[in-house]
Amino acid sequence: MDPSHRIVPAAATKTASIQDTANTLGLHDTLRYGPRSLATETRTRTELPSRLSKWEETQDNAKLTMLRNVHGLHAPARLLMERNIVSHSPHMPALPQTNLHLDILMGRDETLSPGDFFSGMENGHSLDIHTDMERKLRM
Amino acid sequence: MNAFVDRFANSSSVPGVQMRSRDAVPADSDDLDNGLVLSAWGSEAGFGNIAQGAPTFSMPLVIDPAAFLRLHTDDHADPSCRIKLAHGTTTIAFKYQGGVIVAADARATMGSYIGSGTVKKIIEINPYLLGTMAGGGGDCSYWETYLGMHCRLHELRNHERISVAAASKYLSNLLYSYKGTGLSVNTPLIFASQGPAVYYVDADGTRMKGDLFSVGSGSTFAYGVLDQGYRSDLSDAEAYELARRSIHAAGHRDAFSGNQCNVYHVKQDGWTFIGNYDLSELHYEGVGNSGGYGYEMRTAGQSSSE
């Protein structure tokens, strides 16, 4: 995200793209993601889902920008580098993945949230271990 | 690490001049070359946003972008709409024993204004694949360029040329994912390649294989001439003549087609450009020593009143 002092996510610009579900042929991958209709996606989206999904990221970005302005470039860079190091999980992409170190760095080690109990519901059982491993090892 | 540094490199909260394009590599990947941005090096080769893979289109921030587009561009529903897209055409393609003939007129109309009389409506995707432009010209040429890129990628990956069935399938899948958005302004296309094969691909997701197709506002007039003259054992000269006569008939009667006619011949080893003919010359003089194509020319002296 661009450095910004916004504490609330901006209204998302509407875009139509098959980039996120495209396969190597450059087309929407119906086999993996099912049928998709860009027309309905762009028609009925209110701004609430995007606002909620970008909430934490926007707040974090605001804090990092303030750190950069007060302490200099090294402050956000070090924090982000630490988070990056800690995210390299050595495990296989099996389902419940908890990253305690990342929780500590993000400051949520002493809080309980619904995400702690209901994790893994969005993506569910991944059908393809091979792509998961590929994605993991390419990092 | 470079990504993190680049992200906060400007000291103010306003993202100043940045070398990064909006939808470049995400900031939290730590590839070695995520600092290199393609647009900064000018290596997009003129393809614009297609060079980064599947393109992303911004849509207006209204509840229903497709209806909004239709409101402002649909000439049939509301002739006083503000945006007149360039369309109106006649394109034909037919298959015969010597390959495939593709012909199109050259007029672009925007509402009731003739924008241009020299439009190249037959798009040369690669040396053995031709697509035609009908409906919205911008959409046609954009997506056919995209298709050309992927045909080339297919060739490089599979070490053989893409078949016309695969290319048309590719295009129809692509248009289907944008179906209903109004992005493709109903762009029927015709594919011709070695095979020989002609496919009709539509923005509704239609994809049909056939022997002869005519697409556009003047297609009914062209079909009349094409259907009465078509045989699969035409000679080359007869096939060129049939194509010219069909386009001339459409250009003569349809207000949205006319000006010029371009004819291409697709053979086993690729396509060749046969010629560009002015329709008024075809009407009054014809080609070579054949008479003019127009009714008065063909029936001169046959009426008892003369």
Per-residue pLDDT tens digits for B103-158: 999 998 887 888 888 988 888 888 888 888 887 777 888 888 888 888 899 999 99
DSSP 8-state symbol, B161: P
pLDDT at B44: 64
Question: Tokens standing for A135?
Answer: 């994605």
pLDDT surpassing 50 at residue B65? yes
Residue A61 falls within a domain, yes or no? Answer: yes
Residue A127 falls within a domain, yes or no? Answer: no
Residue A60 falls within a domain, yes or no? Answer: yes
pLDDT surpassing 90 at residue B204? no
Number of structural domains, chain A?
Answer: 1
> From the candidates A17, A48, A64, A139, which should be mutated to test the interface with B, based on the most B CB atoms within 10 A?
A17
Q: Enter the pTM of the model.
A: 0.77
Name the burial class of residue B159, with classes exposed (0-12), middle (13-18) and buried (19+) by CB atoms within 10 angstroms of its CB: exposed
**Nearest residue to B192 (alpha-carbon basis) of B171, B161, B167:** B167
Domain B91-294 matching CATH 3.50.50.60: the answer reads no
The domains of chain B are located at 91-294
Please report the ipTM that was assigned to this predicted complex: 0.71
pLDDT at B33: 43
The Cα of B282 is separated from the nearest Cα of chain A by a number of Å equal to 43
pLDDT of A41-71, one tens digit each?
777 777 888 899 899 999 999 999 999 999 9
Which of A73-77, B21-25, B122-126 tops mean pLDDT?
A: A73-77
3-state SS assignment for residue B81: coil
B255 at A interface, C-beta within 8 A: no
Of B1, B27, B57, the CB nearest to A15: B57
User: A–B: how many Cβ contacts below 8 A?
Assistant: 110
Half-sphere exposure (Cβ direction) of B177: Cα atoms closer than 13 Å = 25
Residue with tokens 């503000």: B82
**Nearest residue to B164 (alpha-carbon basis) of B144, B194, B124, B207:** B194
> From the candidates A25, A40, A45, A82, which should be mutated to test the interface with B, based on the most B CB atoms within 10 A?
A25
Interchain CB distance below 8 Å, A38 and B4: no
pLDDT at A36: 84
Name the burial class of residue A75, with classes exposed (0-12), middle (13-18) and buried (19+) by CB atoms within 10 angstroms of its CB: middle
Residue A129 falls within a domain, yes or no? Answer: no
Which range of residues forms the domain containing residue A82? 1-88+99-109
pLDDT of A104-124, one tens digit each?
999 989 999 887 888 777 766
pLDDT at B25: 46
The Cα of B90 is separated from the nearest Cα of chain A by a number of Å equal to 29
B115 at A interface, C-beta within 8 A: no
The Cα of B68 is separated from the nearest Cα of chain A by a number of Å equal to 10
**Which residues of B are designated catalytic?**
89
